[in-house]
Chain A
Amino acid sequence: MNRRQFLAIGGATLASLAAGPGAAAPSGPLRKPIPSSGERIPAIGMGTWITFNIGSDAQTRAQRADVLRTFFAHGGGMIDSSPMYGSAEAVVGDLLGRLDYPQGLFSATKVWTSSGDDGPGEIEQSRRLWGVERFDLLQVHNLLAWRPHLETLLAMKDSGRLRYVGITTSHGRRHGDLEQVMRDWPIDFVQATYNVVDRDVEQRILPLAAERGIAFIANRPFRRGALIDRVQREPLPAWAADCDCADWAGLLLKFIVSHPAVTCAIPATSRVEHMVENMRAMHGRQPDPALRRRLVEHVRSL
């Protein structure tokens, strides 16, 4: 990443990085700017893949309401879902209604259909399920039929029916196509897989996001649980205290959100105690580049 790219990221991120190990912890949860608008959003969001696909079960929905309540109580904002996630959008909409649509909600979902013509209908169905007047962010899911969908989303943004436009991929796939979209289209967000093990995006996608002023959402921060299951068999290294981490979840998430070009990570969980751990990653000192490298090497050695 060159100096120009680095400066494009925004003052708040630089300030949090400059704090480094041993520096005074910033006050309040970490919020990072969306480059295209300057609006700040909490650095830890919430994914809904699997965890909120629970159908109509009243008992489980009540438990997930506790998870969602905890998310907002700890400064959460972005909830990310998709029509591909089964009942997740319906569950999220139901639970947001029970919580009276907490202040700070940043609603993010996706359009996922192979036909551009079907996009508007699917988006309207998602909007009804969520019960929101308009979405904050709509993303083309996994680059499926991305040209017609991006045209739809950009037209919605122009007419004030949508605030931000994005595109997603995962598992490190189609980064070449993603780069093309990031270069050629005026998108606000890009979403891809990034964690301490899956770091392909560090080569081209994250620098390009910084250069083009595109917010970056990191999905699969725990590799759907497999990564955290693996590292939790080992003790937390003592140097994790240098970035105020008391658990592996916090350390793995801080690795992600401390990258200057990352706007937020979206871990998914179905448990209140794990949500509390996740949200703690927005507090205290963030790892500096040396500590980030140390974590990469440490996880690689496990």
Chain B
Amino acid sequence: MTDWAGYALADFLMFAPDTYVRQFALLNAALWPLHVVLYLLAGAAAWRLRPAVSQDAAVLWLLVPAWAACAWWFLHQRYAPISLAGDPWTGLFALQALLLAAVAARPALRLVTPRTRLPGMLLIGYALLVHPLLGLPAGRDAAALEWFGLAPDPTALATLGVLLTLRGLPAALLALVPLAWCLFSGLSYLAMAMPLGTLAPLAAIAAAVARYLLGRTAPATGAS
């Protein structure tokens, strides 16, 4: 049997930190200005989630292209060649896109904004605007920043934010892949000695805690 105690976290890392960051530079250079389209979709989602608006699940359609783009352009084309975890994650991100589409396609599903709307909106704002820019003070080149819709971390965080703002969803099911990715990504960044990368799992955990603490006392109506 393999003695796992003999390994350190860094021993599971297959690539150098420079190599990982470089994948985002290549991704951004190859796909610009697709970023603009994906941010417009994210902006549209945030607009639909504004206060006092009764929602239907169609807002989730706006996240589907982001998950599909992450799966294909980052995880399959950039990450899988340098990591054995690339192919499984490609499959899981594609599955997440399908799950979001499946839920979004249910016209009967009506949603209301619960007490967790505010932390949800804050998390969306963090994912879209703050998290990508955190690389700069850490010394990352502006061309290699991680943007929503193409990079997994901000995409997963923004999705968790959307899930927080709505009630009446199969939220636990839809949050599974984003949460798992954030934890995986945080461990990867720890192994790369890039501690800022742990902000994604910390934000994800905060979202889950907010959902648990605030969501359990929210009105039970909403889904029909």
Interface size, chain A (Cβ < 8 Å): 19
Decide if B16 is an interface residue (CB 8 Å cutoff).
yes
Question: B84: which A residues are within 8 A, CB to CB?
Answer: 84, 86
Flag if A172 contacts B6 (CB, 8 Å): yes
Once bound together, how far apart are the Cα atoms of A250 and B153, in whole Å? Answer: 41
Among residues of A, the one whose C-beta sits closest to the C-beta of B7 is A171
A173/B2 in contact, CB under 8 A: yes
Decide if B6 touches A173 in the complex (CB within 8 Å): yes
Interface pair A60/B22, CB less than 8 Å apart: yes
Q: Is the CB of A55 within 8 A of B23?
A: yes
- Is residue A203 within 8 Å, beta carbon to beta carbon, of the partner chain? no
* Minimum distance in angstroms from B159 CB to a CB of chain A: 26
Is A85 in the interface zone, CB < 8 Å from B?
A: yes
A-B contact count (CB 8 A): 49
B14 engages A86 (CB within 8 Å): yes
Main SS at interface, chain B: helix
Which residues of the other chain, A, contact B11 by a CB distance below 8 angstroms?
A: 171, 224
Cβ proximity bits B69-100 to A, threshold 8 Å, 1 near / 0 not? 00000000010011110000000000000000
Closest to A172 in B: B6
Residues of chain A within 8 A of B22, CB atoms compared: 54, 57, 60
With both beta carbons as reference points, the residue of chain B lying nearest to A193 in the complex is identified as B6
Taking the complex as formed, is B122 at the interface, i.e. its CB lies under 8 A from any CB of chain A? Answer: no
Task: Report yes or no: A86 in contact with B83, Cβ–Cβ below 8 A.
Answer: yes
Known: A57-B26, A60-B19, A270-B16. A171 touches B6 (CB 8 A): yes
CB atoms of B2 and A87 under 8 A apart: no
Query: What residues on B are CB-neighbors of A36 within 8 Å?
Result: none
The reply to whether B7 and A87 contact each other, CB–CB distance below 8 Å, is no
* Minimal beta-carbon separation of A65 from chain B (angstroms): 16
CA distance A51 to B7 in the complex (A): 19
The answer for the CA separation of A224 and B18 in the assembled complex, in Å, is: 15
Q: How many residues of B contact A (CB 8 A)?
A: 20
Interface of A, helix, strand, loop or mixed by DSSP: loop
A55 touches which one: B6, B10, B13, B82 (CB < 8 A)?
B82
Complexed CA–CA distance, A54 and B82 (Å): 6
A171 to B10, CA, bound (A): 13
Asked if A50 and B13 make an inter-chain contact with CB atoms under 8 angstroms apart, the answer reads yes
As a 0/1 sequence over residues 169 to 184 of chain A, the CB contacts with chain B under 8 angstroms (1 = contact) are 0011110000000000
Assess whether A55 is in contact with B7, with CB atoms less than 8 Å apart.
Answer: no
Which A residues touch B16, using CB under 8 A?
Answer: 50-51, 270
How many angstroms from the CA of A234 to the CA of B6 in the assembled complex?
27
Assess the B14–A50 pair: CB atoms within 8 A.
yes
Distance to closest chain A CB from B187 (angstroms): 17
User: CB of B212 within 8 A of chain A?
Assistant: no
Contact with A along B1-45 (1 / 0, CB 8 A): 011001100110111101100110010000000000000000000
Query: A279–B69 Cα gap in the complex (Å)?
Result: 44
State in angstroms the CA–CA spacing of A172 and B13 once bound together. Answer: 19
A232 to chain B, nearest CB (A): 16
Assess whether A53 is in contact with B19, with CB atoms less than 8 Å apart.
Answer: yes
Residues of A within 8 A of B6 (CB): 171-173
Whether A86 pairs with B7 at a CB distance below 8 angstroms is: no
Q: How far is the CA of A185 from the CA of B58 in the complex (A)?
A: 64
What are the residues of chain A within 8 A of B10 when measuring CB–CB? 224
Closest to B4 in A: A173
Q: Does A2 interact with chain B (Cβ within 8 Å)? A: no
A53 touches which of B2, B3, B26, B82 (Cβ 8 Å): B82
Kindly identify, within residues 252 to 302 of chain A, every residue whose CB is under 8 Å from any CB belonging to chain B.
Answer: 270
Complex Cα gap A173–B6 (Å): 7
Known A53-B19, A54-B19, A54-B82; contact A173-B3, beta-carbon cutoff 8 A: yes
Pairs A-B, 5 closest by C-beta atoms:
A55-B81, A171-B6, A87-B81, A86-B82, A55-B82
With A50-B16, A54-B15, A54-B19 given, name 12 new contacts (CB 8 A): A49-B14, A50-B15, A53-B15, A55-B82, A57-B19, A60-B22, A86-B84, A87-B82, A171-B7, A171-B11, A174-B3, A270-B18
Binding site for B on A (CB under 8 A): 49-51, 53-57, 60, 84-87, 171-174, 224, 270
A-B contact pairs, 13 of them (CB 8 A): A49-B14, A50-B15, A51-B16, A53-B14, A53-B19, A57-B26, A86-B15, A86-B84, A171-B6, A171-B7, A171-B11, A173-B6, A224-B10
